[in-house]
Structure formats: structure tokens, C-alpha cells
Chain A
Amino acid sequence: MTSIRQDLKEPFADLLLSVADDKFILGHRNSDWTGLAPMLEEDIAFSSLAQDEIAHAKALYELIGGLLGRSADELAFGRALEGYRCATIVELPDEFDWATAICRQLLCNRFDALRLARLARSTHKPLADLASRLAAEQRIHVEHADSWIVRLGAGTEDSRRRMQRALDALAPEAPMLFEPVDGQERLESAGLYPLAATDMFQEWSESIAAVTGKAGLRLTIQPPAAQTNGGRHGRHSKHLAELLDEMCEVYRLEPNAAW
């Protein structure tokens, strides 16, 4: 199936925007580490992974653009703040604290991996194909974060303390990744975003706990509230507003310019 029922178009576009925006904003945040990561090898690796996120976002924006009749650039740079569907956790500046950057990678990448696995089973064939490709690459990101978490969590007293502090600060923010877009249940029952066999939140929190446990870190994580009104509904932190003002500065000068 490649055509979308009219009444499902908007929720479907919202869902895909939430995936693309998470990747786009996280990739942008992580790209700021170029030249600053704790060691040269990691600097190159982390920059490369940030580029992956942006490449994934681009592929998704192109897919959504096809559905909505808009260009990928327009979706990436031409929306108002409330048009973005990313979760707050990707918007936060990491203050160039490596523990924060890496803990965020753990929480977001493992969520993304599960979400892509669901999308890979979508009845919308072009999405399923794209999501399987992205999921295969996503594994690289998951492994990368795991390695650092375990290494630093089980490193010295100093490194463990920093990791614990970063994890404690981010853990309350992470469950909002699960905030559903409007109409998500209809997408689930239509098979566009098929439910996984198990509870996604449980699967996610257990997989995080397995890594933090290995790293000797404490983890307290609560399921998201039943009623939420956050990033998936266009409500964002001031950090995203600042980020977009700067990122979209050039685009806004001449939105129709051909590059």
C-alpha cells in the first residue's frame, strides 16, 4: 500500500515528523561537538554519527514532503516553532558535558531503534523499506552509546559520578519520547505504525536498565503520564526556539532561493 487514507494523512505526517525532527535536532546538537569531543578518534566518530542522524532526517523529510507536496528543505527549515514534533530531550543543550551527551545518546538511540523496528513493519511500503535501512544503521549508534556508558560508568569514581549525575538529570525527561502524536491509535490500528508484540516503554526501559546495570549506574525511570501536551504537540522548550533562530537564519532570508 502506498496511498494513505485521507483522514490518516495528518496523523501520519505528524508521526513521521516526530521521527525526523528527533533525528534532525539531535544530529544538530551532536554536530556541535566536532572538534571538541574528548579524544580525536571519538571526535571523528561522533561527527560521523551526527551526520547519520541528519541523513536519516533528510530521507524522512523527503518521504513526508512527497505526501504533503513540500520540499525537504521547507520541512527542515521553513516551519514555525509549533510545527516541530520533536521531544524536549533532543532540544536541550548538553553544555558540552560528555556524560550528558552520551547518556542522551543511550536514551534516544534505544528509543529510536524500537520505533524504527515498528515502522519497518508499516503497511506503507516506502516507509517500511526506508525504516529497515535506517534501523540497520541505528544499531551502530546504539552500540556506540553502550560502549561509552559501560566504559565510563564502570571507570573511575570520578567518571561514574559524572555519568550518574547526567543520567539522573536526563531520565525524567526521556519518557516524553513516548508521547503519542494526535491520532496515533488510528495509525496503529490501520497498520501504518503497527504495535510491537510487547509494551514498548517496558522494552525500552529494560534495555536501558541492562546497560546502566552493567555500567554500575542507578536508573529511575517512570512511564509517561497518560495525558501529555509536549513536543509531539508542538510545545517546545526555549532552547529549541534559540536553536531554530540560528539554524534557519540563512534559509529565512530567501526561502525560495535555489542552492
Chain B
Amino acid sequence: MSKIREHITLVEGDLDTPIEGDLEPYVIFTQLATGRPYIYAGWVDAIDAAMAIQFGREHYGQDQKCVGLWAIPKPAITAGGAEMTARGRYEVFLRAESGEPHRSAGCVEAESSREALDTARRDISGAAEARSIWVALSERIVATGPDDVIWRLTDQTYRMARGYASEVRAKWEEVRARKDIEEYEKDDLKEMF
């Protein structure tokens, strides 16, 4: 951080209308390889769907290789509580085991979210045994395109904890190779890695 941050005199104060007034929650799903399911990653607060995708990409698309993102407005996803009476195609997400994230498992056509859940339990493989089912109207899903870059093409392993750990490990190994190792190996090193 630069010293410039030590004395910040703002040119202007806060906006008249706080930015938070416009924010809506969006649930983000990531796809790790083409053709694979979209997996629940978390959610972001965003001003609109385009920004939800941008935030989702930076928050959830940089932990591992990721080729696709979905952003769905949170109120558009239901697990059976409030019923949505919209007719159309619903995307079905299943949580197979407790602790597992929800994964996209296919689509059903239905008159309402309740019917979509019933149809999913009957027609989607694994749904009957799933711990939890979510459905969302497909038209509410905002998705990245096939040419969009999410996972960076330039080497950015240093951004990740494991990238940093592997650099530190390489340096430790250099130290060990230089033979001043015994004490380190017994105590610190084993604990740390």
C-alpha cells in the first residue's frame, strides 16, 4: 500500500444517494469444464445482472479453472417456499449430500415452481434422493458466453493461496538443499507444511 493512503483528503463526500440502495443479491454458479454442471459458488450483491457476472467472475471464477458462470437473481430461486406461478422452462439444482453444493441437473417444463419441483423429483435422475432441490426459471439466468475469458490466460498462480504456498515451499527446499536443515525439519517445517 502506498504512503499516499496515509493522508486521504476526499475530493467529494459520499453520494447523495448511497450506492447500496440499488443493490440486489445474485446467486453465482460456476462451471469448471464445458458440458459439466454449474455448481453453486456463493452470491454477490450487484447493481444489475451484467455487474453480477463481473463480480462473480472476480470472486468465484479465480479459485480454480472455470469456463462458465451463471448469475441468478436470488428471489428467482426457490426450494419450495414461496411459489412462482410463471410458466416455462425451469433449471433444476440438486444437493446430493449434506455439505455438498447444489449442482445443475437438467431442466423441466412446468406451469409453476411447485410443479417444477414435483416434476423434477419424478423425472430428474437423483432428484428423489437429493437432500435439497432448487428450481429457477431458465429465462432469469444470466450466463457468460463461450468466448468470455473467466479464468485468466496469463500465469497468475501467485494470486492463489496454493500458488503462494508452492513458491514458499520451493524456497524452503532451496534452503534445505543447502543443508542447514536439521532443526527446521524437526520443528517449523513439518508444522507449516
Any A CB within 8 A of the CB of B65 = no
| Chain B 37-53: CB-based contact to A (< 8 A → 1; otherwise 0) | 00000001111101100
- In the complex, what distance in Å separates the CA atom of A38 from the CA atom of B45? 13
Any A CB within 8 A of the CB of B149 = yes
Q: Enumerate chain A residues within 8 angstroms of B176, measured Cβ to Cβ.
A: none
- In the complex, what distance in Å separates the CA atom of A48 from the CA atom of B23? 21
| Chain B 137-169: CB-based contact to A (< 8 A → 1; otherwise 0) | 000000000001100111110010000000000
Any A CB within 8 A of the CB of B177 = no
Interface residues in B61-118 by Cβ distance below 8 A to A read 62
Interface residues in A203-259 by Cβ distance below 8 A to B read 243, 246-247
| Chain A 18-36: CB-based contact to B (< 8 A → 1; otherwise 0) | 0000000000100010101
B11 touches A136 (CB 8 A): no
Known: A38-B19, A48-B62. A97 touches B10 (CB 8 A): yes
B54 touches A147 (CB 8 A): yes
| Chain A 31-65: CB-based contact to B (< 8 A → 1; otherwise 0) | 01010101111101100110110011001000000
A246 touches B3 (CB 8 A): yes
- In the complex, what distance in Å separates the CA atom of A221 from the CA atom of B32? 43
Pick the contact of A49: B4, B15, B23, B58 (CB < 8 A): B58
Interface size class on chain A is 35 or more
Q: Enumerate chain A residues within 8 angstroms of B155, measured Cβ to Cβ.
A: 55, 59
Enumerate chain A interface residues (CB-CB to B < 8 A): 28, 32, 34, 36, 38-42, 44-45, 48-49, 51-52, 55-56, 59, 93, 95-97, 100, 133-134, 136-137, 139-140, 143-144, 147, 151, 155-156, 158-159, 162, 243, 246-247
Enumerate chain B interface residues (CB-CB to A < 8 A): 1-5, 8-12, 15-17, 19-20, 23, 44-48, 50-51, 54-55, 57-59, 62, 148-149, 152-156, 159
Please name 21 pairs of A and B residues whose Cβ atoms are closer than 8 Å in the assembled complex, sorted by A. Answer: A39-B19, A39-B20, A39-B45, A41-B45, A44-B59, A45-B59, A48-B62, A55-B155, A59-B154, A95-B10, A96-B11, A97-B10, A137-B149, A140-B54, A143-B54, A147-B51, A151-B51, A156-B17, A158-B16, A159-B17, A246-B2
Closest 4 CB pairs of A and B: A45-B58, A48-B58, A41-B55, A133-B153
Besides the known contacts A97-B10, A156-B16, 19 further A-B residue pairs in the complex with CB atoms under 8 A apart: A28-B2, A32-B1, A32-B2, A36-B5, A40-B45, A41-B45, A45-B57, A48-B159, A56-B154, A96-B10, A96-B11, A134-B154, A136-B153, A137-B149, A137-B154, A143-B54, A155-B17, A162-B15, A246-B2
